[in-house]
Amino acid sequence: MSLEQRLQDVERRIAEACARSGRDPGDVNVVAVTKYVSANTARLAVEAGMRHIGENRWPAAEEKWRLLEGQAVFHYIGSLQSKKVKDVVGKFDYIHSLDRMSLAEEIHKRAVILGIRVPCFLQVNVSGEDSKHGLAPAELAGFAASIRGLHGIKPIGLMTMAPVADDPEETRPVFSRLSTLLRELNASGVLDEPLTELSMGMSGDFEVAIEEGATWVRLGSVLVGHEDMNG
């Protein structure tokens, strides 16, 4: 299937999930995750109409960023080491993986130097798996309060990763919990501005995530595919 066909297919599935849940497809954004493909394929993906590009490691993303700078919006979706912040802030337009104070302070510091505010998602480990990064749900409100003074950070939403499941239905409680956490956080008045975004849903479970309120889905395999990059 061509990248154009893959995009059309994903857009149709998004529209169907929106129809099932009474949502507007215009409220669901797609991040094309290019970590499994070459810079050239990432370029073709952008030419095929994928405007948002997601990567999870800086050195691996650098070639793509240099090639596509100014032509795509870049999303940092992987866990971020504090020492990599200087490489990422100013190049990536969004960070999906803010999950600790030391990282928040680094992002803020770098953003202030560059005179920007970085839109960030607070990553929550809803499922509680040891292998997953993110704040525990019980830590979320306290964390949100503690980053309030860091004006280099603009918190815009929450992000989570669901456990790998054979049946996507199994992921529904994780996504629904993230939606609830967003509503509760907004109702608590902890943040200066309400969060509006939910980054949740990957190739295997994005339709369920959309039915539960996702505004950003992060799609690798189903959208841009896999390539052997050692060859």
- Which positions lie near ligand PLP, rule CB under 6 A? 33, 35, 56, 77-78, 161, 202-204, 218-222
Nearest residue (CB) to ligand PLP, 103 versus 190: 103
Phi then psi for 159, rounded to 5 degrees?
Answer: -130, 145
Nearest residue (CB) to ligand PLP, 213 versus 220: 220
Calpha distance 100→120 (Å, rounded) = 12
Calpha distance 126→54 (Å, rounded) = 21
Residue nearest to ligand PLP (CB): 220
By the 8 A CB rule, do 39 and 71 touch?
Answer: no
Q: How far is the CB of 206 from ligand PLP (least distance, A)?
A: 8
Q: How far is the CB of 130 from ligand PLP (least distance, A)?
A: 17
Q: How far is the CB of 155 from ligand PLP (least distance, A)?
A: 18
Nearest residue (CB) to ligand PLP, 125 versus 190: 125
Secondary structure (3-state) at 28: coil
Q: How far is the CB of 219 from ligand PLP (least distance, A)?
A: 5
Nearest residue (CB) to ligand PLP, 53 versus 147: 53
Q: How many residues does the chain have?
A: 231
Q: Number of helices (H) and strands (E), helices first, in the chain? A: 8, 8
Nearest residue (CB) to ligand PLP, 150 versus 199: 199
Task: Transcribe 169-203 into DSSP letters.
Answer: GGGHHHHHHHHHHHHHHHHHT-SSS---EEE---T
Q: Strands of the chain (E only): list them.
A: 29-33, 52-55, 73-76, 94-98, 118-123, 153-159, 197-199, 216-219
Nearest residue (CB) to ligand PLP, 107 versus 190: 107
Q: How far is the CB of 151 from ligand PLP (least distance, A)?
A: 26
Q: How far is the CB of 123 from ligand PLP (least distance, A)?
A: 9
